[in-house]
Amino acid sequence: MRDHTSELRLAEALVETTNTLHDDFDPELYLSRVASHCVEFLGASAAGVIFDAAGAPGVAAGGHPGELALGLLGAQQSGGPCVESLGTGQLVPPVRLTAAGPAARWPEFTSLALRQGIGMTYAVPLRQRGTLLGALNVFLPVTAEAPQPDGELRLARVIADAAALGLHNHRAYSEYRILATQLQGALTSRVRIEQAKGMLAERWHTDVDEAFEALRRYARRERLVMDLVAKEVIKGTLDDAALGDSRSEPS
């Protein structure tokens, strides 16, 4: 019987990568898990992600030790595969660093990578619906064979695409939650205002339009929002005489 362990483990990892619809989502922790999946499935020594963290660059790393990927990402200030992928939005194909010599494409990064036993690297953009959300950088040991286009490279793209989908979905989820909260607040405010003007109309034996105008004039005069005035009316803590004066003010 065929052993499906690796396929099942990959499926579980991809499901985990797209599960981002929750309030305690932490993008750095999430992308660190993504990077760890790359180490597990791509035969990498380490992996890291540079991503947009609320308008500022954020970094996440996977592998042991975790400082390895963080250091290699940090060494790319003067150029490197992850930064290049972020700049172009395209795949940076595998580069064998051991063959770079003095004319290395990214001298500072290459020097550090070789000292850390990294012999090959490539980077994959995290893109969803045309929006670039970050880039995934994979670091392979000196002894590693070149990743195959239909093998490790394709799998890296799948993981990056799943991560981009997860980030996109969480952003949409957060926006919807904010919108829902705003709409609920507006509805609650409207209900309070309706309740307050109904109470005033009954108390003053007048129509609700006149009561509403008194509320509006008072709020404008005192530079208060209508909802706050309505709350005070409902609680009975607002001087009725002050509101009554507003009835005689010009519109």
Domain with CATH 1.10.10 in the chain: 185-247
Residues 105, 110, 114, 115, Cα dihedral to 10°:
150
DSSP H stretches of helix in 43-151:
66-74, 81-88, 107-115
pLDDT band at 73 (very low <50, low <70, confident <90, very high): very high
pLDDT band at 172 (very low <50, low <70, confident <90, very high): confident
The CATH architecture one would assign to domain 185-247 is: Orthogonal Bundle (1.10)
The reported pLDDT for the residue numbered 239 is 73
Domain with CATH 3.30.450.40 in the chain: 5-175
pLDDT band at 1 (very low <50, low <70, confident <90, very high): low
Q: What is the pLDDT of residues 177-227, one digit of tens each?
A: 888 888 888 888 888 989 988 888 888 888 888 888 888 888 888 898 888
Q: What is the pTM of this model?
A: 0.76
Q: Which residues of 208-228 are buried (b: 16+ CB within 10 A; e: fewer)?
A: eeebbebbbbbbeeeeeebbe
| CATH number of the 5-175 domain | 3.30.450.40
